[in-house]
Amino acid sequence: GIEMMIKLYKTKDCQSCAEVEAALAEMVISHKVVTLNKNDIAEALPPNTPLPALEDGGQIISGLEAIAAHLAALEDFVNQWRKFQGDSCYIDDDGRVC
């Protein structure tokens, strides 16, 4: 099957990694945290990938700013998805209902 889960790659002493981990938990998005030691980084990620790094749908997003932008877009998507998965119907700007 296709692996859709987001993976966060971090090291134990990475403060910005911990911030990303907290944001993912707060968003209640399914994710897996992969804690690497310095020697494992080169094996797990492309060369010179700065941490924190996210893997989402096979795409690697690294560095705090890029991850923050990705999570903001993801949060918008998740909020829209949850809104339309509820039992309620909504009227959008065009007056359509579900």
97, two tokens: 């209902």
Angle at 67 between CA 64 and CA 72, to 5 degrees: 125
What pTM was estimated for this model as a whole?
0.76
pLDDT value of position 75: 87
- Give phi and psi for 56, each to the nearest 5: -135, 110
Half-sphere exposure of 6 (CA within 13 A, CB side): 22
- Give phi and psi for 66, each to the nearest 5: -65, -40
Task: Give which of 37, 75, 34, 28 is closest to 53, Cα–Cα.
Answer: 34
* pLDDT at residue 83 is higher than 90: no
Mean pLDDT, range 60-87, rounded to an integer: 86
7-63 pLDDT per residue, tens: 999 999 999 999 999 999 998 888 999 999 988 988 899 988 999 999 998 899 999
